Amino acid sequence: MGLTNFKIKSATIGKRHHDGRGLYLILSARGLGKWTMRYMINRKAKEIGLGRYPELSPADARKKHFEARILIAEGKDPLTERRKAEAQIKREALTRFSDVAKSYIEEHSPKWTSKKHAHDWESTLRRLAYPVLDQKPLAQLATEDVIRVLKPIWYCKRETARKLQGRIQMIFSYAKAGKLYVGENPAMWKDHLCHYFPVLSGPHHVKHHRSLHYGLLPGFFAQLIQLDTIGSKALQYTILTAARTSEVRYVKRDEIDFKKMLWNVPAERMKTRKPHKVPLSHQAAELIDGIMAAHNYPFLFHGINPEKPLSNMAMLSLLKKRYKDVDTTVHGFRSTFRTWASDMTEYNDSIMEFALAHQLDKRVEGAYNRTELVEKRRPLMQDWADYAHGYTASQTTIVH
């Protein structure tokens, strides 16, 4: 029969008292002692402490003993498993939300086409999430903590709040995958946070990039051509191809196919992560041909260091310094192109969207063959280049 509290009261101090199957109690004083368990694993004798008596009763000690025996039956060493658990607890106590967020950004940012995207992630989290979520270990965070982050900005900065919620949700999912967080994702929107934050009705104005009205483009483009710099040529090419800054900066010679009059943009530079073919207008091809003849550097639009690409801010800086009266961003010229195509041409909307390399509905995208789309887009891009170069003296000059 095993040990009982009555037997323990009269047990010899300093002696090991066996409860059965390797469970022992060693008394250090009357009514005080510790439980230990002896076992064999991998042909080695080991001993592990289970807890102190009387804090751990005989019944509780047997429960712990039983759990340890299950581990042994599974081929696991209870002592090793305990050390792993202690290390996990220590790691959880030291790990903060910002630690995991920084790891997430570091791991995922190489896949993002824009450095600004990574900067926006880090900046938003640092300003709005870290001050609240870093107040306790990551493992202890709950829904109410996420609500504390979002509530102050939900009604006044709705777009920022929704982006922040999505980013926090992804970071918690990342933490769960890495076994740094256990339980339901506290930032999950569907069937969770959606009940705390109402989706507001009424007009919601999304902030778009500033863009130049297409009626003013030919006048601006004529003056841009007069400026013989790499930044100007990069901006000309960006406008003629309706491309993004991140796609243009890294253009290399082997991406240009003069025979087929195509610019082959690799998938890693595209927002959709799909390779993109851009039909080259005669003007765009002539521009590129001239740049190729002028230098032999790795990137056609090179930076101050010829071995590196043009700075991410070079074209925007050019607009701000040389064309102060032009109220647009570099990205805004894509809107200029799209509005011109809608107002001034009869091309299909899907063709226009493909020209901008936008992600389309799968049914729409599947209805087109990419080879056909290149040829369908070719006259559109030529018409756009002709329009940009169609400046006449009668048109209004917009810059000085």
In the structure encoding, which two tokens stand for residue 197, read together?
């934050």
pLDDT value, residue 258: 96
Report residue 393: phi and psi, to 5°. Answer: -65, -20
In the structure encoding, which two tokens stand for residue 8, read together?
């323990």
Instruction: Give residue limits of the domains in the chain.
Output: 5-92, 97-195, 214-388
Give the span between the Cα atoms of 205 and 287, in whole angstroms: 38
pLDDT value, residue 373: 82
What secondary structure does DSSP assign to 97-123, as a single string? Answer: HHHHHHHHHHHHGGG-S-HHHHHHHHH
In the structure encoding, which two tokens stand for residue 231, read together?
């930044």
pLDDT value, residue 110: 79
pLDDT in tens, the chain (400 residues): 688 888 898 899 999 999 999 999 999 998 899 999 999 998 899 999 999 999 999 999 999 999 999 999 999 999 998 888 877 777 767 789 999 999 999 888 877 766 777 888 999 999 999 999 999 999 899 999 999 999 999 888 888 898 999 999 999 999 999 888 989 999 999 889 988 887 655 444 445 568 899 999 999 999 999 999 999 999 999 999 999 998 999 999 999 999 999 999 998 888 878 899 999 999 999 999 999 999 999 999 999 999 999 998 999 999 999 998 888 999 999 999 999 999 898 888 888 988 998 865 555 455 444 555 889 999 999 999 999 998 433 333 333 3
Residue 78's contacts (CB-CB under 8 Å, 6 or more residues apart) are 37, 39, 48, 68, 71, 72
**Residue 311: helix, strand or coil by DSSP?**
coil
Query: In CATH, what is the architecture of 5-92?
Result: 2-Layer Sandwich (3.30)
Give the span between the Cα atoms of 60 and 220, in whole angstroms: 83
Do residues 34 and 26 make contact, with C-beta atoms less than 8 angstroms apart?
A: yes
Fold of 97-195: DNA polymerase; domain 1 (1.10.150)
What secondary structure does DSSP assign to 115-166, as a single string? Answer: HHHHHHHHHHIIIIIHHHHTTS-GGG--HHHHHHHHGGGTTTSHHHHHHHHH
> How many CA atoms are closer than 13 Å to the CA of 3, on its beta-carbon side?
28
pLDDT value, residue 226: 95
Give which of 380, 371, 374 is closest to 348, Cα–Cα: 380
Name the pairing type of β-strands 16-20 and 32-41.
unpaired
pLDDT value, residue 102: 93
Do residues 259 and 350 make contact, with C-beta atoms less than 8 angstroms apart?
A: no
- Torsion, Cα 75 80 82 88, to 10 degrees, reads -110
pLDDT value, residue 367: 47
Do residues 360 and 348 make contact, with C-beta atoms less than 8 angstroms apart?
A: no
Residue 266 neighbours by CB distance under 10 Å? 14
pTM recorded for the entire structure: 0.53
The correct CATH number of 214-388 out of 3.30.470.30, 3.30.420.40, 3.40.50.720, 1.10.443.10 is 1.10.443.10
User: How distant, in Å, are the alpha carbons of 71, 256, 289, 393 from that of 253?
Assistant: 62, 6, 10, 36
pLDDT value, residue 112: 75
Report residue 283: phi and psi, to 5°. Answer: -70, -40
In the structure encoding, which two tokens stand for residue 186, read together?
């506290």
pLDDT value, residue 132: 95
**Residue 276: helix, strand or coil by DSSP?**
strand
Give the span between the Cα atoms of 297 and 294, in whole angstroms: 9
User: How distant, in Å, are the alpha carbons of 102, 121, 151, 227 from that of 148?
Assistant: 21, 19, 6, 52
Task: Find out whether the peptide bond into 54 is cis, omega within 30 degrees of 0.
Answer: yes
> How many CA atoms are closer than 13 Å to the CA of 289, on its beta-carbon side?
12
